[in-house]
Structure 1
């Protein structure tokens, strides 16, 4: 979604919990927006391409609803702002290029005059670049997979040609297409929340993103997010989870029950939201929403799955399983 106008930054400050009016031109920032009831609505990255021009991305499933939400905010809640919104999903073809040899591959596509070094194009950078042959493209150094990654965007009519040339240029580097299953594994390894955690019942704090909530401005959902039930200390929050038996398969939907307790609604303390087998860690891992989960890191609990008649021990752990300092995506 393109956000244009002299009040574009001020408008985004009202719809996101964090601040975008102070984002430097040529930079991107992760953003989180709430519903009016204070629960998380959507997340994504927003890049500032010019003083009065931002480029906003949404989750795939919420592209349409977020556009409607933003238009409602623009027309009804904040009509005083001079800002225009345009859906440009069909205008751009955008591809993620991820992995340790990303710069080498992009160097074969992007004009040699462009500086793609860590100093010249740092993490969360965003700007227009020239491709070999003169076509202008947008390049964003953002990563959902936790690896070194860029996203490259060209006008839609060049999309087919770009992806074919990326594969040709990438052959020498072992480039291969990767799908949502692989991406899902990598995001769980990094503790990145997605649809199963942004399920319409979670707050920013539940997701570990409470510190993003600005205390210096107003935004949609700010007041309602402070309701007693939404800040209660026993809320279910996102934690990592892994079977104590490394050979054991972890399944999404299993209920978290205190060890030694009889499974039932009285003892249900949460559930497993996302799982995968991690080739990096050579075991099943997952994310879960668990009561007071962050206080209980290291605790052994039971995963109870009545649908599959399974019951086994799991450990609550830090949701960032791999590269916790983020060195791979910032290097």
Structure 2
């Protein structure tokens, strides 16, 4: 006899087979793109000893048999940097990543990332390569490029490099936005993120493919600061039709500075009532050993498939969205 409970469950894939075939073709094209450039495909663990320290990012932890705790990685970045320090040269991978509390038309707790690192590149050279890949896959014209500060002056009417935190929150209030206590406790960068999401991103949506570059130094968790202009981080993000698709930067190679930034993130977490996270000591040891000059980027592969398929919900491009 068939169990009535099994009849009610929808076992079928969430994505159409046509979309899954498109997903497979994009993966094949990505591998061809990197093979032509001599970039090595790698595979690193999904479980790691520490997650990212970003105060606005929640991670999933796992208690292992016999004691000890690991984290489902929000990005393969830390492990890939250890490979770079070991002399791997330019590398990429396509893998699953995990972020707690993220669920919606463009977010899932489990998702697929394309992440790559190019030795000898800075963020500007990497922007060119990101554009070549994305515009080629999506058959789009070249991106428009804007400075972070330029967009905020134009659409949020604030100078992000001189405006104090109180004035930023006043601008948030003037836009009719009431942030939570947790966001307020997260400080200046939380206010900037709100203004970016509510005022800047809608303004660039009609422009198609857009790079935003030169973020404030306070938003450079793992990025190098601009020589001679330490208020700027050598960081960029790529948007396509208003969808944030990729986030990259010239990589920080200073182990002591990286430790300082991790510890500062934990102080922000503590002030906001969020759990602190362990520091990845193996990453810091790799940086101390010597990370080559390089730039890296993470690209949301599911979102890329959404754009290629012309769909508005990430569930339509994942076989089983969950």
* TM-score, L = length of structure 1: 0.25
* TM-score, L = length of structure 2: 0.26
Give 1 or 2: higher helix fraction. 2
For the pair shown, the structure with the greater C-alpha radius of gyration is 1
Give 1 or 2: higher strand fraction. 1
